[in-house]
Amino acid sequence: MNAFFQGFAGTIRRIATDGGALLLLVGAIGVYSMFYPLPYLHQVVKGSPVGIIDFDDSSLSRQLIRWVGAHENLRIAQHYTSASELEEGLAGGEIDGYLVIPAGFRRDVLRGRAAVVIYGGDASRFLVFKQVLGGFAEVTGTLSAGIEVRRLQAAGQIHPQALTTQGPVQLHLRPLFNTREGYGSYLIPAAFVLILQQTLLLGIGLIYGTDRGRTGRLLPLPATGLLARFVGSCAAFMSLYAIHAAFYFGFCFWLFDLPRNGNLLVLAVFTVPFLLAITLFAQTLGGWCRQRETSLQILLVTSIPFLFLAGFAWPLALMPAPLRWLAHLVPATAGIQGYLRLNQMGATLAEVSHWWWTLWALCLLYAWPAWRNWRLTYGPPAS
């Protein structure tokens, strides 16, 4: 037991006395928690500047333009007189989208012909592009429905009958989990889980690289109780990141008003294998670090692949089978899948048992390589 506490205290002391490790394993958590959500605080894109070309210049086209200006996603920034001016405005970043109303628009509507309007945007920013096109689609759809209702009324139907005839099936959308339908509520909870893994990976790799790179080996620890010291070291990292996890999933979720429907006890039970898995995973990869800077290289190489393998940017079920198996080897994948269901959707532990057992399996998988790397770094040299 003394060896366990020596390993625990030694790891805490090692973190506290290394400025870089302290910054990564403690300071970065606070910085990421405040800095990363800032771009997404507004949740949805609103008021995107758009350009208008009205070749019809009729009362109906002007009504359509007024409705465009009234939509929350759109803001009329410029009226153009030619397609070349519009293209220059789009290429120069003055507008995010455009609406072109061709000549004869009102005439075609009055004659019962299919009237066509043209709208588009800058597809290089997919989120803005989606909101702009959605705004134009809602405005033109509303105008089209109003025209159809007036035609039905002119044919003798009263207004309620015309509304029912025009739209016999009413669609009511009710978001269940991401109630704001915002990008921040979708992205931040998953990103927090990945941040926990990647900062621990970087911090442990930094410590390994430092301890191995200065003299090749540190003064070795005695062989007696070496395994207990390793367990104590793992417990130190887990205890530190348990505080971070509580800070992220508690205070930060409250501060940024993210969806939170999870049971605290169930979250705590799920957190145990997650913290153990990322600790052993980080020590496994940290064993590759022969210099202090190597951990940064590992982080740069792995962060983007781990992000896309996590299964929230693109569903795991739609990935090729080899990538799905590879994704299951990364603790953050199981962590993100489990936490999103528990914290955002109010799932029970039984409903995420697959991911819970996946984390325990990863603990078993990475236990031996993590122990081997730790023993080679801090234990007595092999005889």
> What is the per-residue pLDDT for 149?
62
- Which two three-digit tokens encode residue 48? 């995107």
> What is the per-residue pLDDT for 153?
64
Selected residue with higher pLDDT from 277 and 135? 277
User: Is the pLDDT at 241 greater than 80, yes or no?
Assistant: yes
Question: 272 to each of 41, 241, 267, 286, 369, how far by Cα in Å?
Answer: 30, 10, 9, 21, 20
Selected residue with higher pLDDT from 271 and 205? 271
CA distance 300 to 302: 6
Residue range 169-179, pLDDT digits in tens:
666 667 677 76
Residue range 75-91, pLDDT digits in tens:
898 888 888 888 888 88
Structure confidence at residue 365 as a pLDDT band (50, 70, 90): very high
The closest alpha carbon to 197, from 335, 19, 344, 314, belongs to 335
In this prediction, residues 349-364 reach a mean pLDDT of 94
Measured over the CA atoms of residue 233, residue 239, residue 240 and residue 245, the dihedral's sign is positive
User: Is the pLDDT at 255 greater than 80, yes or no?
Assistant: yes
Q: Tokens 């109003």 identify what position?
A: 146
> What is the per-residue pLDDT for 359?
96
Structure confidence at residue 106 as a pLDDT band (50, 70, 90): confident
User: Is the pLDDT at 219 greater than 60, yes or no?
Assistant: no
Residue range 16-40, pLDDT digits in tens:
988 888 988 998 888 888 887 777 7
In this prediction, residues 3-25 reach a mean pLDDT of 89
Structure confidence at residue 61 as a pLDDT band (50, 70, 90): confident
Asked if residues 363 and 277 have their Cβ atoms less than 8 Å apart, the reply is yes
> What is the residue extent of each domain of the chain?
2-40+182-378, 48-166
The closest alpha carbon to 252, from 3, 4, 29, belongs to 29
> What is the per-residue pLDDT for 163?
58
> What is the per-residue pLDDT for 272?
95
The whole-chain average pLDDT of the chain stands at 83
> What is the per-residue pLDDT for 337?
92
CA distance 234 to 11: 9
> What is the per-residue pLDDT for 216?
47
CA distance 184 to 177: 13
CATH class of 48-166: alpha beta
CA distance 53 to 43: 30
CA distance 282 to 288: 10
User: In 10 A of CB 254, how many CB atoms?
Assistant: 10
Weakest-pLDDT range from 80-84, 121-125, 357-361: 121-125
Residue range 149-202, pLDDT digits in tens:
666 666 677 766 655 665 566 666 676 777 666 777 778 888 899 999 999 998
CA distance 296 to 298: 5
Cβ burial, residue 213 (10 Å; 0-12/13-18/19+): middle
Question: 70 to each of 65, 73, 135, how far by Cα in Å?
Answer: 9, 9, 10
User: Is the pLDDT at 69 greater than 50, yes or no?
Assistant: yes
Amino acid at 324: R
User: Is the pLDDT at 299 greater than 60, yes or no?
Assistant: yes
In this prediction, residues 234-248 reach a mean pLDDT of 94
> What is the per-residue pLDDT for 263?
83
User: Is the pLDDT at 144 greater than 70, yes or no?
Assistant: yes
Which region holds residue 324: left if phi is over 0, alpha if psi is between -120 and 50, else beta? Answer: alpha
Q: Which residues contact 324 (CB under 8 A, 6 or more apart)?
A: 316, 317
User: Is the pLDDT at 217 greater than 60, yes or no?
Assistant: no
In this prediction, residues 328-345 reach a mean pLDDT of 91
Structure confidence at residue 273 as a pLDDT band (50, 70, 90): very high
User: Is the pLDDT at 72 greater than 80, yes or no?
Assistant: yes
Selected residue with higher pLDDT from 241 and 35? 241
